[in-house]
Chain A
Amino acid sequence: MARAALPGRLTWRAATLTEERWESATARTLVLDVPDWPGHLPGQHIDVRLTAPDGYRAQRSYSIASAWESKTVELTVQRVDDGEVSPYLTDTLQIGEQLELRGPVGGWFVWRETQQTPVLLVAGGSGVVPLMAMIRARGAAKNKTPFRLIYSVRTPGDACYADELARRVRDDPGLDVKFVYTRKTPDGWPAPPKRIDVATINSYGWPAEFTPDCYVCGPTTFVEAAADILVALGHDPKRIRTERFGGTS
């Protein structure tokens, strides 16, 4: 049902898939051409709407992976095998085909260059996507704010952006990345697989006295566990921003 566009309010627009990359065996980055895109802040997301030939519609939110400095709108979509929308986006949508999107939206789970304090990013699985946009925006702006990313994945093969993160740790001063493996570690890894715990965040995050801005993104259970640990370590709940990913898309 078409709705009339009202000034200042957001409406759906057409986007065309122009490039694609596989980030892991199950996560695909979609590079989209969106005419007249107004730009976005790192951490913002878009809504995707798909319409089947019989008129059935489904709508999902996906975080933007790219920084606007690169002038691209990129999504990284994790395939959920019994999902309704994600398998279409990872495996069916072809270069040159279109979809409808709405955005950018979300003004709370964002990082702005004007923020003065160190930043701790805590990612669970595909929750890394909006945090990667923050790392990319910081790099593009040559911003010197100290950034630490703690990135929990099941196995080394599940990690998205692994090469780019390694390069940025080398080239972007003040960026550190710590991987946590929950099922299988790389060969020679000094510790067995484990979930993010108090020791992980205590060792690889920032001390609470530094009053860092903390961004936690991942599945609901992961986000709640990580946020509870941060609070237990003395971080101000007002400085902990969370975004939960569903497992149903």
Chain B
Amino acid sequence: MGIISRGFGGRRRESIPGLPPGQYLTHDFPVLSAGPTPRIPLDRWSFTITTETGAKSSWNWTEFTALTSEDVTVDIHCVTKWSKLGSTWRGVSLDTLLAEVDTAADYTMVHSFGGYTTNVPLEDLLDSKAWIAYKFDGEDLEPEHGGPARMLIPHLYFWKSAKWVNGLTLMNEDEPGFWEAAGYHMYGDPWLEQRYQGD
């Protein structure tokens, strides 16, 4: 059926050259939620890396924020078709967090407060490609955007940048996370438009 509603624009959408295929530019920061927003007091916050052998490395908030942080400016691309350019974050590189971790695994599962999960190959977290961010635009990261801290993996669709992150599990085999199990792509490269399984 082809009913076009003249005068219906929906949200303002701007398509500019240089964006991944199918994406529109947005200047605000839409909030997507698959569940209630967890409120995590900083004294209850921790981040734990668990290797394929069960070895754990853990940081509380004080230890985490004492690690070397980096300021990064990146473009982010949401699978719901908005892209945001030049967003500024401060966070700890996964290179720093994984430096002392002994693993032969190729895959990881990111875990969050509230139960969210998403899978990312280990090599996509290394070589200055991923951070755990705790500031956005110079301010503490708000709970709606994943605060106290969220994953930031700008080269993949933004559902991989899990909000309210609290852990990383290293895996020998790839497994689907929350959205991947429900039909989204296992990898999610925005430049290849890998939105759904089979794309």
A-to-B contact residues, CB < 8 Å: 2, 12-14, 50-54, 56, 58, 84-85, 88, 92-93, 97-100
Is A84 in contact with B10, judged by CB distance below 8 angstroms?
yes
Is B5 in contact with A88, judged by CB distance below 8 angstroms?
yes
Task: With A51-B2, A52-B4, A100-B1 given, name 14 new contacts (CB 8 A).
Answer: A2-B1, A12-B1, A13-B1, A14-B1, A50-B5, A50-B8, A50-B10, A51-B3, A51-B8, A52-B5, A52-B8, A53-B4, A54-B13, A85-B10
B-to-A contact residues, CB < 8 Å: 1-11, 13
**A-B interface pairs (CB < 8 A), number:** 43
Set of chain B residues within 8 Å of A58, measured between Cβ atoms: 8, 10
**Contact sample, A vs B, 28 pairs, CB 8 Å cutoff:** A2-B1, A14-B1, A50-B5, A50-B10, A51-B2, A51-B3, A51-B5, A52-B4, A52-B8, A52-B10, A53-B4, A54-B13, A56-B9, A56-B10, A56-B13, A58-B10, A84-B10, A84-B11, A85-B8, A85-B10, A88-B5, A88-B8, A93-B5, A93-B7, A97-B5, A99-B3, A100-B1, A100-B3
Set of chain B residues within 8 Å of A14, measured between Cβ atoms: 1, 3
**In the complex, which residue of chain A has the Cβ closest to the Cβ of B7?**
A92
Expressed in whole angstroms, the Cα–Cα distance for A2 and B3 within the complex equals 12
Is B1 in contact with A88, judged by CB distance below 8 angstroms?
no
Best-buried of B3, B5, B6 by chain A (most CB within 10 Å):
B5
Expressed in whole angstroms, the Cα–Cα distance for A47 and B97 within the complex equals 47
Q: Contacts A54-B13, A56-B13 known; A98 to B3 CB distance under 8 Å?
A: yes
**In the complex, which residue of chain B has the Cβ closest to the Cβ of A51?**
B4
Set of chain A residues within 8 Å of B7, measured between Cβ atoms: 88, 92-93
B54 to chain A, nearest CB (A): 41
B137 to chain A, nearest CB (A): 21
**In the complex, which residue of chain A has the Cβ closest to the Cβ of B6?**
A53
Expressed in whole angstroms, the Cα–Cα distance for A88 and B10 within the complex equals 9
Expressed in whole angstroms, the Cα–Cα distance for A76 and B2 within the complex equals 25
A209 to chain B, nearest CB (A): 35
Expressed in whole angstroms, the Cα–Cα distance for A99 and B13 within the complex equals 21
**In the complex, which residue of chain B has the Cβ closest to the Cβ of A55?**
B4
Set of chain B residues within 8 Å of A2, measured between Cβ atoms: 1
Expressed in whole angstroms, the Cα–Cα distance for A51 and B3 within the complex equals 7
**In the complex, which residue of chain B has the Cβ closest to the Cβ of A87?**
B8
Expressed in whole angstroms, the Cα–Cα distance for A201 and B188 within the complex equals 51
Set of chain A residues within 8 Å of B11, measured between Cβ atoms: 84
Is B9 in contact with A52, judged by CB distance below 8 angstroms?
yes
Expressed in whole angstroms, the Cα–Cα distance for A92 and B3 within the complex equals 15
B93 to chain A, nearest CB (A): 36
A-B pairs, top 4 by smallest CB distance, nearest first, are A92-B7, A88-B8, A50-B5, A50-B8
Is A92 in contact with B8, judged by CB distance below 8 angstroms?
yes
Expressed in whole angstroms, the Cα–Cα distance for A51 and B4 within the complex equals 5
A249 to chain B, nearest CB (A): 12
B74 to chain A, nearest CB (A): 26
Set of chain B residues within 8 Å of A100, measured between Cβ atoms: 1, 3
Best-buried of B4, B8, B9 by chain A (most CB within 10 Å):
B8
